[in-house]
Amino acid sequence: MTGGEREREGFAAFMLRMRARGIGGKELFAAMEATPRGDFVPSEWRSLAWSERMLPIACGEAIEGCDLQARVIEALELSSGHRVLEVGTGSGFTAAVIARLAGRVISLDRFKTLGNEAKRRWEHLGLSNVLAKQADGGEGSAADGPFDRIVVWAAFEELPRRFVDQLATGGIMIAPMGPAEDTQIMMKLTKVGSRFEREDLASVRLQPLAKGIAEAI
């Protein structure tokens, strides 16, 4: 079996898992299928690209399993006019999928290397509505807001109140909350006035949000 055949088989298995859980519509599946996930993971892990496993990527980071990514992206309820902030560019896969479903995406990562690699992948796919920035993700990107949607791929120990002002009224933020060394809850927070309405999506184990930016890589 060739690498391409394995990837197609992996994507088909992923779709079956999602449909069994009642997750994913045509637009989401089309956006994910159009984004060759194997190109966003190291070659030695390509056969597992469409698995539920977290996989290692550059800079000691990891890419979340595609099942969790699909669930979160669907919960963002994206439309073509939305401005989206992503905290944690990683390999750039989720930003690429979101860019196919939203109007504009700004993706932050503390590692310059990850941002540069993601940019090359997005350019190769012809995606022009997504921008990578090296930044302290814990501060968000107030100068570029407000955002209709915010998604964070690293855990907060408590509700990140500083993001309230960066989210438009009626906007949605999805982020994991909980202790750094234990299970966290991936929460969907909908902004109503100056407060959030909360919905719990899944239990996760993600890295805590690191402060500052990486100087060397």
Say what the pLDDT of residue 3 is: 63
Query: Does 162 score more than 90 pLDDT?
Result: no
- Encode pLDDT of 170-205 as tens digits: 999 999 999 988 899 999 999 998 888 999 999 999
* 3-204 CATH fold: Rossmann fold (3.40.50)
- Does the global pTM surpass 0.75? yes
- Encode pLDDT of 98-143 as tens digits: 999 999 999 999 999 999 999 999 999 999 999 999 999 988 999 9
Tokens 């814990």 belong to: 138
Write the CB contacts of 107 (distance below 8 Å, at least 6 apart in sequence): 85, 86, 87, 88, 89, 92, 95, 115, 118, 130, 131, 132, 133
Q: Is the dihedral of CA 175, 156, 127, 102 positive or negative?
A: positive
Output the furthest CA–CA distance in the chain (Å, rounded).
54
Write the CB contacts of 17 (distance below 8 Å, at least 6 apart in sequence): 52, 67
Query: What percent of the chain stands above pLDDT 70?
Result: 99
- Encode pLDDT of 31-53 as tens digits: 999 999 999 999 999 999 999 99
Tell me the chain's radius of gyration from C-alpha atoms.
16
Do strands 167-177 and 147-152 pair parallel, antiparallel, or not at all (unpaired)?
A: parallel
